Amino acid sequence: MAGINRHAKTMVATLVSNKRVGQYHQLILDVGGVVNDFRPGNFVAVAVGGDRSSMVLRRAFAISRISDRGAYGGTMEIIVAPHGSGSRWFCAQPEGSEIDVIAPLGQPFGIPTHPVNALLVGGGYGSAPLFGLAEILKDRGCTVDMILGASTAGKIYAPLEGKRAVNTLRIFTEDGSMGTAGRVTDPITELLAANRVDVIYSCGPMGMLKAISALTANTDVVHQCAVEESMACGVGICMTCVLPVADEAGVVTMKRSCIDGPVMDGALVQWDLVGQVLPVNE
Amino acid sequence: MSIDLSTTLGSAWFPAPVFTASGCASSGKELAQFFPLQEIGAVVTKSIMTKARHGRPTPRMAETPSGMLNSIGLQGPGIDAFLANDVPWLLEQKARVIVSIAGETVEEYSSLARKLRAVPGISAIEVNISCPNVENRGLVFACDPDAAHAVIDGVRRTLGGELPIIAKLSPDVTNIVEIAKIVVDAGADALALINTLLGMVINLDTMRPHLGGKTGGLSGPAIRPVAVRAIYQVHAAMPKVPILGMGGVATGRDALELILAGASGVSVGTASFGNPEAPIKVQRELAELLTARGFNSLREAIGFAHRVESQ
Ligand SMILES: Cc1cc2nc3c(=O)[nH]c(=O)nc-3n(C[C@H](O)[C@H](O)[C@H](O)COP(=O)(O)O)c2cc1C
Ligand code: FES
């Protein structure tokens, strides 16, 4: 267990770009050479509100993509929905601002050692880290199909350049304002039935992750999902971010989504027990 | 220039005065990436109970102005696994260790003390009689003078005279000095002040209490003045009893404030969530501030706010 947070660095990173993309902000931070330790699925914890902030907790964001080329030594991209006071502050920072960050944190997505058929499923801006993952899977010779879903068009995050990394991309909105009307679970059911999928990578709201886990139960399809639980520390010291997860022997304990996740095996997460008091196991 | 930062809590000596706060450093491993654990006074471990516990349901936290509410409910592996895995690892890192214990009954505290008596290398035991995150608030021993006495008395008898006992008290009482005197009478060598204050947040979307456990403990800078007041009152009443102060400490300035009020050492809790390097940062800043004010040692500053001017 030693080696928790082993790549994590505390640093002040310069915000080199802040662009609005639909309902989200694309923020790019200069983090230098440490970017080479970043893996898809890792997240960053950002201090918000400035020096005299009354917001005492960091905000966790998935790292969507990294680059080790260009004018800066290394940059990371994060996609932020400005819906709370911390994320609104972050999205309002001008380019050139110095941002206090800790990264990379958390368990990344597992990358297969040989080419497989990978299905990437993103809900809302949860799609962001999937594009960086897609590039890596493509480089490994995987077939990469992507399905994105959201309630409405404005909540779909699908950057043009990201589309190059995938073999197919399908979009579903509940109100039909973009792509096909419906939910992501319908096409997943079809793909599973057609034996077209070896691994599902998912990121998005908990309800979606739970639904996908139900579809992959009793199949050989591996489901790696990045969970979302509210985190107070991001580094494993507060125990607020826990989820009920079974081990290989079936014993359920509360795991920390920050250091044991955010990427977890969807088959082991006890979705029905989330938010419940666990029975005591003697 | 190096100022003497050493301090004592009962018979336990520490080379430095800043500690982690129980429940805010897990078992220490998670913080080791951010600073060498042996450089601070000690790692105070999360409160451990006899059996493994899952804790309370999520959501377990809510940020509040300059603070947060938590309702963890003492999730942990149980004393046996803790002693087998976590304590040896901390000692291997040359960190000093204060073990925090919590029980549901007077007997549970004593039986935890019995297990700890035999463990070499522990500096002190913090007895958490003030956790607000239990199903039955009646279990907050620190809110009841007789119960508080019974717990500390039981632990003292079981431990014998060796390991120092630090009794951790709740600020949610009418008269904290009264409870402090009772636990010192019962055999506590030192006091930890303060635990969190009981609070609640209502979620305006669901229009119900936000936390899964409904109520939670308030911590962070918002409670610092409460901590300073509690430490000041208790130190005034019992100047010889060492106090481990905590409550909203995020900077060296905050730590110095608690020390001037009467604390012999300071624990950093919630500030570590915002900055995992907070304990070592607070300690460095504290050393600078003490030096700048002309103190030759930390000891000279303890309770300095109580001094009587001679002329
Ligand atoms: C998430 C969390 C968990 C805590 N767990 C414990 C615990 O297990 N035992 C204990 O004695 N105090 C516990 N506390 C209380 C702290 O040790 C400390 O007394 C309190 O938070 C005030 O200090 P702070 O403002 O620096 O956090 C906990 C506090 C927080 C925020
Ligand atoms: S966010 Fe603190 S333990 Fe996971």
User: Buried b vs exposed e over A204-220: b needs ≥16 C-beta within 10 Å?
Assistant: bebebbbbbbebbeeee
Residue nearest ligand 2's atom 3 by CA: A236
Position B119 in a domain = yes
CATH code of the domain in which B195 resides: 3.20.20.70
- Domain interval for residue B173: 7-52+73-200+218-310
CATH code of the domain in which A200 resides: 3.40.50.80
Position B143 in a domain = yes
Per-residue pLDDT, B1: 54
Residues 212-231, chain A, touching B (beta carbon < 8 A): 229-230
B274, B55, B12: which is closest to A234 by C-alpha? B274
Residue B187: CB atoms within 10 Å? 17
Q: Cβ separation of B30 and A235 shorter than 8 Å?
A: yes
**Closest CB from A10, A242, A259 relative to B277:** A10
Residues A210-219 have pLDDT tens digits of 999 999 999 9
Position B95 in a domain = yes
Determine the distance separating the centroid of ligand 1 and the alpha carbon of B22, expressed in angstroms.
5
A106, A133, A112: which is closest to A234 by C-alpha? A106
Residues A75-101 have pLDDT tens digits of 999 999 998 999 999 999 999 999 999
Whether residue A188 contacts residue A211, with contact meaning beta carbons closer than 8 Å, is answered with no
pTM: 0.95
Placement of tokens 């350049």 in the chain: A161
* Same-domain status, A73 and A101: yes
- Domain interval for residue A63: 9-105
* Same-domain status, A146 and A87: no
Q: Among the options B95, B97, B131, B260, which is catalytic?
A: B131
* Same-domain status, A143 and A262: yes
Is 90 exceeded by the pLDDT of residue A1?
no
Pairing mode, strands B122-128 and B165-168: parallel
* Same-domain status, A76 and A161: no
Per-residue pLDDT, A64: 92
* DSSP calls for A88-149: HHHHTPPTT-EEEEEEEESBPPP--SS--EEEEEEEGGGGHHHHHHHHHHHHTT-EEEEEEE
- Over chain B, what is the mean pLDDT? 94
Is A236 a pocket residue for ligand 2 (Cβ < 6 Å)? yes
* DSSP calls for A175-227: TSSSSEES-THHHHHHHHHTT--SEEEEES-HHHHHHHHHHHTTSS-EEEEE-
Beta strands in chain B (DSSP E): 7-9, 12-14, 18-20, 43-44, 61-64, 67-70, 97-101, 122-128, 165-168, 190-193, 197-199, 202-203, 208-209, 216-219, 243-246, 265-268
Residues B158-209 have pLDDT tens digits of 998 889 999 999 999 999 999 999 999 999 999 999 999 999 999 999 999 9
Question: How many domains does chain A divide into?
Answer: 2
Of A74, A105, A136, the one marking the end of a domain is A105
Q: Which residues of B touch A49 (CB under 8 A)?
A: none
Residues B142-165 have pLDDT tens digits of 888 999 999 999 999 999 888 999
Question: How many domains does chain B divide into?
Answer: 1
Position B266 in a domain = yes
Distance between CA atoms of A244 and B55, rounded to whole angstroms? 11
Residues B274-309 have pLDDT tens digits of 999 999 999 999 999 999 999 999 999 999 999 997
**Closest CB from B31, B56, B59 relative to A237:** B31
Position B113 in a domain = yes
Distance between CA atoms of B282 and B271, rounded to whole angstroms? 10
Of A47, A71, A105, the one marking the end of a domain is A105
Position B100 in a domain = yes
- Over chain A, what is the mean pLDDT? 92
Interface residue of B29, B37, B58 to substitute, partner A, most A CBs within 10 Å: B58
Q: Which atom of ligand 2 is nearest to the CA of A241?
A: 4
Is B270 a pocket residue for ligand 1 (Cβ < 6 Å)? yes
Flag whether residue B35 sits within 8 Å of chain A, measured between CB atoms. no
* Same-domain status, A177 and A258: yes
Flag whether residue B63 sits within 8 Å of chain A, measured between CB atoms. yes
> Ligand 2, from A235, A243, A260: best to mutate by most atoms within 8 Å of Cβ?
A235
* Same-domain status, A76 and A164: no
Whether residue B74 contacts residue B80, with contact meaning beta carbons closer than 8 Å, is answered with no
Of A105, A127, A153, the one marking the end of a domain is A105
Is 70 exceeded by the pLDDT of residue B135?
no
Residues A130-172 have pLDDT tens digits of 999 999 999 999 999 999 999 999 999 888 777 888 999 999 9
Residues B111-122 have pLDDT tens digits of 999 999 989 999
Rounded to an integer, the average pLDDT of A232-250 is 95
